[in-house]
A and B are shown apart, each in its own frame.
Chain A
Amino acid sequence: MAHGTFVGLKKGDSMHTASVNDTESKSVIMFEVDGRAINARVGDTVASALLTAGIQPFRRTRSAAPRSVFCGMGVCYDCAVTIDGLRSVRACMTRVRNGMKVETK
């Protein structure tokens, strides 16, 4: 391929439109958020699992302002939660594991 381009496109390429809501999610991981049992999928991070479960905000600042996921890639610490007693763990960088105990603030 000329100049090492990543892609060549063919006619008829179209967007795969299946949404996760259509697919049957395999909820095989069970963890706990503020004492409540939550299901997650294999491969979920704590952040993706919390967003899927509609749990917001993830924490509050010293001035009690709500915060949630912002950068999604470990930069901003806005999604920091307490995991198994360890404080300030980035939810977006941590994979959900069975029996994990997550505390939001």
Chain B
Amino acid sequence: MTMEHIQVVIVGAGPAGLAAAAEASRAGAQVVVLDEQPTPGGQYLRQRCPDVPQPDDAISRAAEEIKATLLRDLFAHGVEIRTETSVWAAFAGDVLAVQTLQGSRIVHYERLVVATGAYDRPVAFPGWTLPGVFTAGGAQALTKGYGVVPGRRVLVAGSGPFLFPAAVELVRAGAEVVGVLEATTPFQWRSGLGSAWRHRERVPEALHYFRLLRAARVPIRFGRVVTAAEGEGHVDGVMTARVDTRWRPIAGTEERVAVDAVCVGFGFLPSTELTRALALQHQFDGLRGGWIPVHDADMQTSAPQVFVAGEAAGIGSAQVALLSGRLAGIAVARSLGLISARDAETRMAMVRPDYQHARDFADLILRTFAIRPGLLQLITDNTLVCRCEEIAASRVRARAREWRDDLHGIKGALRIGMGQCQGRNCGRLMTSLLSDALATGEADLGMLSVRAPLKTISVAALAGLELDDE
């Protein structure tokens, strides 16, 4: 197998990756975008299945318009988008190993943009591995993309503004949404109200979702969380409870709700497997999702040929992702000498004010709905922390006493984070549990390492690779 050479590889075809591709290709770069999903768009600009009706409201129309414009741009500039394609390893010498259903291949890049997005922050509670428990993002992917409901009677729970569009898509797809539980209370939002005024243009969007949920008679309850999912082989109900300001469940406030699915969303974590595999410098930013790759204002990382964009650079919003993608794409074009520093500066100057404004709003939202430590009390000794290797919380807590803050010692001893999800689910849960048990800051525990394959690959795919020198 010969190595393929691509001038600019962009990993992730969401708003960030597509925007970066648009800017870099407009300047004349040869760009290939890789994405794991069957269609480009990522989560926010998700392509709907042909027979899933397109909602006829301004928000959906605007998203469609953005996607259509981006894709038109990309095709006009010869950008190739390869879907159902996973990057499973990064090697020295600017080489990636890439897998499709057909097999593996190696790709050499001159510039790399990591726009791998984010995923729902895992929150463990008894029963969270039962079929019928979905992440809010996962439920939205199913309803929005395929018109498939995760259940007939569904509860949506967690915190943050994402719960509302997720619930709206469930209603659209035909589910009965029995309620939305938001862990914060509006009273707790008061400290952000001062700066919220500067973002008043966002109010109609919020009201839009509230109106839709009210029209569908979906009750919204504040200061309440899901504490357990119950059922034999499948969810048949969930327990909920009121929480205090630290999100500790309050005894005596429990209620059981009969549902066949529950969608849980407590914000997002950046997908940093690739930036970690590339051994880039990272820093801990609790507000924006934990360990994130260090980058400058033009999205360049500690490796000069590698750029980041979107949620992988720190949790923000679809808007932040799109605008940071533009910055990264312009920076890539400049670093390849395709546009002058002066042209780059002119183009970036058109993006930066909007980017900063969107970034400020995203940070305000992140502060308001940040996860609170009381939720860890939901994790009983029998609750699985690692879904892949089926490791219960009691074992993590016991090891914490023994190994103290030796994250890698615990990982090795328990094999936690070494299953198929590569720690995407259990990693952050484990560090939260440890930091709670040891009263240490999460940043002080260090960053979990990753090892190839980042995504499960077959032995046949490996055998097809020739890693010998050409």
Contact = CB atoms under 8 A, between A and B. Distances in A.
A51 B150 contact: yes
Contacts of A76: 387-388, 421, 424-425
A7 interface: yes
A63 B63 CA distance: 43
Nearest to B232: A66
B304 interface: no
B421 A2 contact: no
Contact of A48 (B50, B55, B142, B208): B142
B145 A48 contact: yes
A26 B51 contact: yes
Given A16-B57, A41-B50, A72 B135 contact: yes
B131 A73 contact: no
A13 B39 CA distance: 28
Given A19-B173, A72-B139, A73-B119, A14 B387 contact: no
A21 B173 CA distance: 8
A4 B354 contact: yes
Nearest to B419: A77
A5 B319 contact: yes
Looking at A15, A74, A78, the one whose CB has the most chain B CB atoms below 10 A away is A15
Interface string B140-174: 11100111101000000000000000001001111
A77 B421 contact: yes
Q: How large is the interface on A (under 10, 10 to 19, 20 to 34, 35 or more residues)?
A: 35 or more
B390 A72 contact: no
Interface string B194-222: 00000001101101100010011000000
Contacts of B420: 77, 80, 88
Contacts of A71: 119-120, 134-135, 137-138, 425
Interface string B403-417: 000000000000000
B59 A7 contact: yes
B172 A17 contact: yes
A4 to B, nearest CB: 4
Interface in A52-80: 52, 56-58, 61-63, 65-78, 80
A13 B205 CA distance: 11
B204 A45 contact: no
Contact of A63 (B215, B390, B458, B460): B390
A18 interface: yes
B208 A13 contact: yes
A8 B248 CA distance: 38
Contacts of B48: 43
Contacts of B208: 9, 13
B294 to A, nearest CB: 24
Contacts of A69: 131, 134, 138, 142, 150
B357 A4 contact: yes
B358 interface: yes
Interface string A7-33: 111100111111111111110000000
Nearest to A51: B148
B318 interface: yes
Interface string A73-96: 111111010010011110011110
Contacts of A93: 36-38, 84, 86
Nearest to B456: A88
A4 B323 contact: yes
Contacts of A6: 59, 62-63, 66, 205, 318-319
Contact of B137 (A17, A48, A73, A88): A73
- Highest count of chain B CB atoms <10 Å: which of A2, A4, A47, A56: A4
Interface string B46-59: 01111111111111
A61 B58 contact: no
Interface in B311-361: 318-319, 323, 353-354, 357-358
B138 A72 contact: yes
A19 to B, nearest CB: 3
Contacts of A83: 101
Nearest to A17: B172
Contacts of B130: 66
Interface string B378-394: 00000000011010000
A23 B51 CA distance: 8
Contact of A9 (B59, B140, B271): B59
Nearest to A58: B131
B133 interface: yes
B282 interface: no
Q: Which 8 A-B pairs have the closest CB atoms?
A: A72-B138, A19-B174, A68-B131, A4-B354, A20-B147, A43-B49, A48-B146, A77-B420
Given A70-B133, A74-B36, 5 more contacts: A6-B318, A13-B58, A22-B174, A43-B146, A67-B387
7 contacts: A4-B323, A15-B172, A15-B215, A20-B51, A23-B51, A43-B49, A74-B36
